[in-house]
Amino acid sequence: MSKEITLLEGKLNATGLKFGIVCARFNSIFVEQLLAGAKDALVRHGANVEDITVAWVPGSFETPLVIQQLAQSGKFDALIGLGVVIQGATQHAAMINSEVSKSYAQISLATGIPVVYGVVTTENIEQAIERSGSKAGNRGASAATTAIEMANLLKILPKTAKK
Ligand code: INI
C-alpha cells in the first residue's frame, strides 16, 4: 500500500468566491491603482464582478473597523485592505502601520476569515509609484492572489473537532 503526504495548499481559482476590499482614500491617486490591480487579478482568476464588494474609508487607520464588520457578516471568503502610507508625509505613519497590521491579524484570527494586508508602506512618493503598478509591480494584485489562495486553503483545512 503506497503512503502519501497530505498536502494542504490553496488553489489560485477565484470562481464562486466572495471578496471584500476596503480602500483608504488618503493617497487615493495610488490606492485607485491598487484597487484596479486587485479587481483585475480577482476577475482574471475567475471571480465574478458581482462577488466583489468595495468600501472606501478616509484613511488606512479606518480600514480595520470596516474589515472587521465585513468579516463578522459571514458573507465573504476573504477580505483585503488597501492603502498607501508614506512615511515622509507624517510622523504618524509608523503608528498607523503597526496598528493596522496588528488589527488585520487579530480580525483574521478572531473570525477565521483571511484578511490580507495590501497597505503599501513607503519612505517617499517615488516608492509609492513603484509599488502601485509600475516597476515594483502592483501590491493590490499580489494582495488579491494571496486572498484567493488563503480563501481556498481555509476551505480544505481539517475542521475543528466537536467536543
Ligand atoms: N492615512 C493613510 O492611509 N496614509 C497616510 O500616509 C496617512 N498619513 O500620512 O497621515 C494617513 N493618515 C490618515 C489616517 O489613516 C486616518 O485617516 C486619520 O488619522 C484619522 O483617523
In this predicted model, what pLDDT tens digit does every residue of 63-98 receive, in sequence order? 999 999 999 999 999 999 999 999 875 678 889 999
Residue 160 pLDDT grade (very low, low, confident, very high; cuts 50, 70, 90): confident
Helix (H, G, I), strand (E, B) or coil at 96: helix
Check residue 159 and give its pLDDT: 83
- For ligand 1, atom 12, name the residue with the nearest CA: 59
Measured from the CA of 25, which atom of ligand 1 is nearest?
A: 3
Check residue 88 and give its pLDDT: 75
Burial of 50 (0-12, 13-18, 19+ CB in 10 A): exposed
Q: Taking 70 as the threshold, does the pLDDT of residue 107 lie above it?
A: yes
Output the average pLDDT for the chain: 94
- Tell whether ligand 1 has an atom less than 6 A from the beta carbon of residue 112: no
Mean pLDDT for the stretch of residues 124-147: 92
Q: Which residue has the higher pLDDT, 139 or 88?
A: 139
Measured from the CA of 27, which atom of ligand 1 is nearest?
A: 4
Q: Provide Rg for the chain, Cα atoms.
A: 17
Burial of 29 (0-12, 13-18, 19+ CB in 10 A): exposed
Active-site residue set:
92
Burial of 31 (0-12, 13-18, 19+ CB in 10 A): buried
How does DSSP classify residue 51? Answer: G
- Tell whether ligand 1 has an atom less than 6 A from the beta carbon of residue 86: yes
Measured from the CA of 31, which atom of ligand 1 is nearest?
A: 3
- Tell whether ligand 1 has an atom less than 6 A from the beta carbon of residue 95: no
Q: Taking 70 as the threshold, does the pLDDT of residue 13 lie above it?
A: yes
Q: What is the value of pTM for the model shown?
A: 0.95
Residue 1 pLDDT grade (very low, low, confident, very high; cuts 50, 70, 90): low
